[in-house]
């Protein structure tokens, strides 16, 4: 009976620690959808002018930015670096009634992450195919060259920081 209770407690604590881990992970690495949602409000107040089929000029109060949705490029460079649409790209996509999720790079998709971790990686490889030197125990390198210190060698050991108040020591 005690074993069952102990296992249940360990399982509950293990589950709680995993929840804590993933909660912290999601705070450090925001989802692409969370970033899009957080950028959406700022994107809706921008002025958008269509220059070409996929090229737009997006203006805020002080600056203007050029967005190319086909090339996934914006002059603010946030779209280029994050690979997630910036506020200017979201505004341009909404202007022509396209879904902004379409412009999120495939590296942010769950399927891509699942494929990346689908197979196991064995760091050592197969032991039967590894080559080792037969005389590895016999090989040794010479000790490093040392320089003899000048002056008389110390006769007593150096005291530690906490030993200064000990009777019998200087």
Query: pLDDT by residue (tens digit) across 35-67?
Result: 788 888 888 899 999 999 989 999 988 999 999
Residue 116, pLDDT > 80, answer: no
Confidence of residue 5 (pLDDT cuts 50, 70, 90): very low
User: What's the CA gap between 95 and 97, in Å, rounded?
Assistant: 5
Record the tokens describing residue 162, joined without a space: 């906490």
Record the tokens describing residue 166, joined without a space: 């000990």
Record the tokens describing residue 81, joined without a space: 């670096």
User: What's the CA gap between 129 and 43, in Å, rounded?
Assistant: 57
Average pLDDT value for residue range 77-91: 91
Average pLDDT value for residue range 139-152: 86
Q: pLDDT, tens digit, for every residue of 130-140?
A: 666 777 777 78
In a domain, 125, yes or no: no
In a domain, 76, yes or no: yes
Note whether 105 and 84 are within 8 A (CB). Answer: yes
In a domain, 18, yes or no: no
Please report the beta strands in 27-165, taking only residues with DSSP state E, as ranges in sequence order: 47-50, 55-59, 64-68, 73-74
In a domain, 96, yes or no: yes
In a domain, 9, yes or no: no
Note whether 93 and 101 are within 8 A (CB). Answer: no
User: What's the CA gap between 64 and 27, in Å, rounded?
Assistant: 32
pLDDT at residue 57, rounded to an integer: 95
For 100, other C-beta atoms within 10 Å of its C-beta total 19
In a domain, 37, yes or no: yes
pLDDT at residue 16, rounded to an integer: 67
In a domain, 156, yes or no: no
Average pLDDT value for residue range 10-21: 60
For residues 163 and 51, which has the higher predicted lDDT (pLDDT)? Answer: 51
Helices (H) and strands (E) in the chain, counts: 5, 4
- Burial pattern 71-82, b for ≥16 Cβ within 10 A else e, equals ebebbbebbeee
In a domain, 134, yes or no: no
pLDDT at residue 128, rounded to an integer: 60
Q: Based on the structure, what is the number of domains in the chain?
A: 1
The boundaries of the domain holding residue 79 are: 30-110
Return all residues near 75 (Cβ < 8 A) that are at least 6 apart. 65, 66, 67
pLDDT at residue 9, rounded to an integer: 44
């Amino acid at each position: 009976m005690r074993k069952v209770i102990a296992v249940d407690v360990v399982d509950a604590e293990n589950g709680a620690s995993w929840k804590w881990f993933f909660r912290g992970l999601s705070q450090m690495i925001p989802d692409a959808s969370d970033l899009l949602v957080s950028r959406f409000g700022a994107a809706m107040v921008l002025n958008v002018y269509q220059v070409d089929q996929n090229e737009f000029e997006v203006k805020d109060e002080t600056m203007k930015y050029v967005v190319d949705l086909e090339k996934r490029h914006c002059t603010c460079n946030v779209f280029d670096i994050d690979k997630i649409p910036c506020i200017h790209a979201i505004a341009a996509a909404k202007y022509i009634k396209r879904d902004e999720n379409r412009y999120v790079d495939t590296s942010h998709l769950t399927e891509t992450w699942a494929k990346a971790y689908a197979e196991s990686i064995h760091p050592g490889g197969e032991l039967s195919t590894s080559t080792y030197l037969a005389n590895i125990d016999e090989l040794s390198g010479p000790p490093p060259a040392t320089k003899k210190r000048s002056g008389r060698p110390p006769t007593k050991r150096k005291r530690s920081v906490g030993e200064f108040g000990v009777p019998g020591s200087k």
